[in-house]
Amino acid sequence: MADKPDEGQQVNFTLNPDKTPVYQIDGYLIGSNENVVTINFGQNVMGGTQQNIVSRVALSRQQAKEFLKNLNDHIEKFEV
């Protein structure tokens, strides 16, 4: 497993659109314990009240806090 980058070091991401689908979600469930926050993303099933989980993300509590802050900052940039 690769070492974690040093603080302030830039991390480069690679996106392969053939292997990385984008899902429009209709709902989500958040679960957690003392170490991890898990977000389950779901899509509606036609003709019913059920959703299929199509993607799951697990974050440490620190990662979840950073993600929430960054998401809020990003949304605020585009609100009028």
Q: Quick one: pLDDT at residue 1? A: 44
The predicted-structure confidence for 18-59, as pLDDT tens digits, reads as follows 999 999 999 999 999 999 999 999 999 988 889 999 999 999
Q: Which residues contact 23 (CB under 8 A, 6 or more apart)?
A: 41, 43, 54, 55
Contact 42, 52 (CB under 8 A): yes
Q: Quick one: pLDDT at residue 3? A: 60
Position 9 confidence tier, pLDDT thresholds 50, 70, 90 = confident
Can you point out the beta strands (E) in the chain?
27-32, 36-44, 51-60
Q: Does residue 2 or residue 66 have the better pLDDT?
A: 66
Residue with tokens 């690679």: 14
Domain residue extents for the chain: 27-78
